[in-house]
Structures are given as C-alpha cells and as structure tokens.
Amino acid sequence: MTATSQSYATGVVFVLLAELGWSLSGIFVRLMPGLDGWQLNCWRGFFMAVALLLYLLVIYGRDTWARFKAVPLIALFASAGFFAAGSTLYVTSLTLVSTATISVIGASSPIFTGLLSPWVTGERPGLAAWMAAALAMVGVGIIAWDGLEAGNAIGIICSVLVPITFAGQTLSLRRYRHVDMTPAICVGGFATFLIAGFMGFTAGHAMGGFDVGWREIGILALMGPLQLSIPLVFFIKGARSVPAVTSALIVMLDAVLNPLWPWLFVGEVPGRSSFIGGGIIIVAVLLSILGNRLLQWLAQAKPAA
C-alpha cells in the first residue's frame, strides 16, 4: 500500500494500534523492578531490532538490504537517533519518576510537533489541532496532579527530553513517508542495544547494561516485539497518511491506556481524576482526528450572508 493509496482513516487505525502496544510499557517495566534504564533499554532495543529485521526479511526477502540503502542517509540518522535517544530517556524516566509525571510532561509532544511541522514537513496544524493539543494537556494534567513529585532533577530533565525526541521521531517518519522507514528504526534498535549496554558500566554493573538475568531476558524478549516492534510497524504505516500533530495527539491516549491495564488485570482501580482526565483526553483525540472535517462541514453549512 503506497502513501497515496492509503486513506486517512486507515492511517488513524494504524496509529491507534501502535499506541495500544506502546501503552503496555508500564506493565513490563514494573515486572522487572531490579533493572535500571540502561539494562531495560539495552535488551529491549536488541529484541525489537531482531524482530524488525525478521519482519523485513519476510516482507522483502533478498531485497531487504536494498530497502536499507533506499532510506536517505539523513533520514536514517535522524530516525535511528531520535529512537535511540527517546527510547533510552523514556525507560530511564520510568525508573526515576512516576508514570504520572512522565505523562503530564509528555503531553507537550504535540506542541513541539506542531511548532516544528511547518519547517520539517511543510504541514501547518489547523485550529482544531491546537485546540486538541491544549485540551489534551488539561486532561493529562488532571490525571497527573496528585502524582507529580518534586526534587528529582535528573528524572524531570529526562522526562522533558522524551516529548522532544518523540516529536523529532514523528516528524522524520512523516517527512520521509514515501520511504519504508522500518530499516531506520531497526538500526536505531541495534544502536540502543550497544549504547545502553556500554553506558550501563557507568551505573556500576559488572557487565554494563548487558548484565541481565535469564528471567528478565525472557520478559524483555517478549517486550521488544510486542511493545515496540509491532507498534512501530503500525506507526510507520500510519505516518504515511496522518499528519504529524494528529499522530502525536493520538499517542497521548497512553495516559488513558497505561492505567487501564492494571485496572483490568490486577484490580488496581484508577482514581477519579483518571476517569475525568481520561475522558478529556479522549475528546481531545477525537477533536484532532475529526476536528478539521467538522470545521469544514460547519463552514459549508453556514448560510450565505
């Protein structure tokens, strides 16, 4: 399916499926409380990259290497770099601050995406997109109000950098939407494996970030494909027909879905603020998806003066 033949609705479904997979991150990380960000990201990146490489081999066969070479060099470095940096920062943030803190700071990602879109992709977000971004930040703020903590400078800095790197990742995928960017993300996964592995020595591990037990290796082998590889394939496909700001706003459903899984499977009932804020975020996402079309319909339906 080419970028021109894929419909907007299909792209939205792909991005929604991507977010569904990404929202499992909190559960996986909580299953491995003894690991720090370097260890988690080292092997998560490795298994993600292996799964993506297998996917490319199945899809393209002998043409797989040609698909790697087809990605423009600047796109390869940008996409792989943003993924490696953002992935490491996100997992590190989860080990330093609460999910609520990360969520409320991550709510700024559509703002960064919207501000940079005109220069990177040539897309100018409309009024509906900016309204949705503001509304989504209100929703996330309500959810995270009781969970914000002070005094953790490193955790807060890492959390602030996460939405910036995600905005860069989203914009790079959107700009080069006519090329299959999966090979670039695959390279980013292997780069994450090496970077996080060697940076793990700074945390005092005898074998750096590579120092992980077999139980955790098994969980990470599942986490890599389910929580990263498959969602990334969907997100790359979705970026072909969905504007960058809308994609970033849809991903903000993470603040709704992340608390949902513990509620369904562990019986951890979310607080009232989660329901109120989650409802606002859902409205914001719907506004980002349907807003421009609704405004156009209202303009056409308005009687002539």
Name the residue among 252, 294, 293 with its Cα closest to residue 16: 252
pTM equals 0.80
Question: H helices then E strands: how many in the chain?
Answer: 15, 0
Contacts (Cβ under 8 Å, ≥6 apart) of 65: none
pLDDT reported for residue 64: 96
295/301 Cα distance (integer angstroms): 10
Q: Provide the residue-wise pLDDT of the chain in tens; the chain has 305 residues.
A: 555 578 888 999 999 999 999 888 878 887 888 888 789 889 999 999 999 999 999 999 999 999 999 999 999 999 999 988 888 787 777 777 776 667 667 777 888 888 888 888 888 887 777 888 888 878 777 766 655 555 567 777 888 788 889 889 989 989 998 899 999 999 999 999 998 899 888 878 889 899 999 999 999 999 999 999 999 999 999 988 988 888 888 888 877 787 777 777 766 666 677 678 778 888 888 887 776 666 666 556 665 54
pLDDT reported for residue 192: 92
3-state secondary structure 25-55: HHHHHHCCCCCCHHHHHHHHHHHHHHHHHHH
State the DSSP H helix or E strand holding residue 224, giving kind and residue range, or none if neither. Answer: none
pLDDT reported for residue 296: 63
Residues 249/129, Cβ–Cβ less than 8 Å: yes
Residues 128/287, Cβ–Cβ less than 8 Å: yes
260/253 Cα distance (integer angstroms): 11
Residues 93/159, Cβ–Cβ less than 8 Å: yes
Q: Let me know the angle formed at the C-alpha of 44 by 43 and 45, rounded to the nearest 5 degrees.
A: 90
pLDDT reported for residue 88: 78
Distances (CA, A) of 238 to 18, 291, 296: 9, 18, 23
Name the residue among 162, 185, 163, 164 with its Cα closest to residue 173: 185
pLDDT reported for residue 110: 81
pLDDT reported for residue 232: 93
Q: Let me know the angle formed at the C-alpha of 40 by 104 and 16, rounded to the nearest 5 degrees.
A: 50
219/225 Cα distance (integer angstroms): 11
DSSP H stretches of helix in 208-305: 214-223, 230-238, 244-251, 254-265, 272-301
217/28 Cα distance (integer angstroms): 12
How many Cβ atoms sit within 10 Å of the Cβ of residue 246? 28
Contacts (Cβ under 8 Å, ≥6 apart) of 132: 110, 249, 284, 285, 287, 288, 291
Tokens of 242: 């969905």
Contacts (Cβ under 8 Å, ≥6 apart) of 275: none
What's the gap between Cα 11 and its chain centre? 15
